[in-house]
Chains A and B, each alone.
Chain A
Amino acid sequence: MTNKSIVYKPISPEILEIAERHENQSEAVLEILKDIQSEHGGLSRESITDTARALHIPAHRPFGMATFFSMLSLEERRDVLRVCDGPACWLKRSTMDDGQQTMEGWSSMVCRTYIVSRTV
């Protein structure tokens, strides 16, 4: 039986720096993930595990956050198009009954969702 020790890849210096900016606080995991996302447009598997390693918390914590909050994404994406389909905007037909989105309802006065949010 060989006794090979596992060699981990070093944590990405970028993530170490972001974690440092938040004083390596595990409470700030959401802010850290958001900062990573704003750089890359999304969260890769590695960036999530690296965050966990940098903060000395189990990987399920940042992974759980990334899949829980709708503003975090596991895919790296550039421009995000969001259409509000809350009840008030729906009344203004932001979402048509056949599922096609129209421009009409987008200017609804209560719409609080970013219509187009650039993540990069």
Chain B
Amino acid sequence: MPADYSQRRKGEVRVMTALIGKIDPDSIDDAIAKGVYDGLKSALHKKPEEAIAEVEASGLQGRGGAGFPVGRKWKFVAAEKRTPRYIVCNADESEPLIFKDRVLIETNPHQLLAGIIIAGYACGASEAWIYIRGEYESQARRLESAIRQAKEKNLLGENILGSGFSFKTHVHRGAGAYICGEETALLESLEGKRGEPRLRPPFPPTYGFRGHPTAVNNVESFCAVPNILKNGADWWKSLSPYSTPGTKMYMLLGHVKNPSLFEAPFGLTLRQIIDNFGGGMQAGSKFKFALCGGAAGMIVDKSLLDVPIDFASSQKGISLGAGAFLICDQSVSPVAFLRELLHFFAFESCGKCTPCRVGTWRSLEVLNRMAEGKGIKGDTDELKTLAALMQDSSFCGLGQSVPIPMKSVLTHFEAEFEKTES
């Protein structure tokens, strides 16, 4: 049974999720009637540069976790002379804890399509690929049906709505690899190769799919775009009282009363997220620590409950990442928790570079014995050394971000790790 996200929670600002439960996701007529494609129509009335300028003025930052400005990325692609240019939508969503893209595709696939077509128009691209996680079979089918319907309405295909702009969209299913969420690994996989990352730079806007300029963006970024084009950059900025404009999808999980998905402006504190949106901690639970962002996010203790969270707050020790917050109570041991994370990373390391391939397994070995209470003297230091090594010398974002939870949990809970050493 899929969860029902149609109920608006107190304090929510719904933009991308506004039509959940009010729209039939399988009907393009309903989508057109509810104005999902209005943003595309107003974009087609503008020049491509004007559409990019509008997105850039809105200050929309990429929602995959890194927060790179979407408008600037599109500008890079549009500035490349070589054609064809491509748009790639990253719907791989392989990060544990994250399920926002699934909900966005499931409830309103036309919003995503509209965003992708706008991106194609703005960047002067001719084709787009939606790289969707292999497990999301029903969502992939829904997208394919949406693409078919859009073609019938001339929202895709040749000479879209008489604008002279032609565009094709395909759905590509992944096959279960965490690394394929990394943009260059995703492109490799899309080209029919093993999903191993490429050296960056050159970045995908210069050298992307098939070696051509490619804009790779997250599902949530694309979903925000039609809303911005429809209502204007100023409206998007006005949604948030905080310095980072717009809204963000948050996922709240773990030992809270109402784990859920919600949309709200930036700058929330962890306390607000737990109390206002999650209904507080479960009965008998006391907040001990939280994993913020995604699996490769920061682990924070109660000292950071009141820090406003945005893409820049990782400098203060709390990351936003892709927007997941896993709340753990006193019953969870940080040592065992980190072991579970490393277990995941060790299995998902693609094996291309040695620091990540070996470092994750070595850390897992150390954590296995620590979690059993059989740690050896010096194990905590060993973990710190491995973390520093992986961060400094790994090839791609996977290996470089495994140390983030390791280091942050060690700053807050070093004593618990040292207790397991004998």
Q: Which residues of A are in contact with B by a Cβ distance under 8 Å?
A: 25-31, 34, 61, 64-65, 68-72, 85-88, 90-91, 97, 109-110, 112-114
Contacts and interface: CB of A to CB of B under 8 A. Distances in A.
Contacts of B3: 109
Most buried by B among A29, A34, A85, A112: A112
B135 A27 contact: no
Given A68-B350, A69-B176, A91 B255 contact: yes
Contacts of B135: 112-114
A31 B177 contact: no
Contacts of A90: 340
Contact of A27 (B177, B190, B328, B332): B190
Given A87-B340, A88-B253, A91-B255, A69 B99 contact: no
B176 A110 contact: no
B97 A87 contact: yes
A113 B99 CA distance: 11
A68 B194 CA distance: 7
Contacts of B340: 85, 87, 90
B192 A27 contact: yes
Contacts of A69: 134, 174-177, 195
Interface in B117-148: 133-136
Nearest to A57: B192
The list of the 7 closest CB pairs from A to B, nearest first, reads A69-B175, A86-B96, A70-B176, A71-B176, A27-B192, A71-B175, A29-B192
B18 to A, nearest CB: 22
B253 A112 contact: no
23 contacts: A30-B192, A31-B173, A61-B193, A65-B192, A65-B194, A68-B350, A69-B175, A70-B175, A72-B175, A85-B343, A86-B97, A86-B295, A87-B326, A87-B337, A87-B341, A87-B344, A88-B96, A91-B253, A112-B99, A112-B102, A112-B136, A113-B135, A114-B135
Given A70-B175, A87-B340, 11 more contacts: A28-B192, A65-B193, A69-B176, A85-B344, A86-B295, A87-B291, A87-B337, A91-B253, A109-B3, A110-B99, A112-B133
Contact of B192 (A61, A97, A109, A110): A61
Interface string B237-269: 000000000000001011100010000000000
Contacts of A113: 135
B191 interface: yes
A87 B295 contact: yes
B107 interface: no
Given A68-B194, A85-B343, A88-B253, A34 B97 contact: no
B61 interface: no
Given A65-B194, A91-B328, A112-B102, A71 B337 contact: no
B96 A87 contact: yes
Contacts of B341: 87
B173 A34 contact: yes
B189 interface: yes
A70 B194 CA distance: 12
Most buried by A among B176, B191, B343: B176
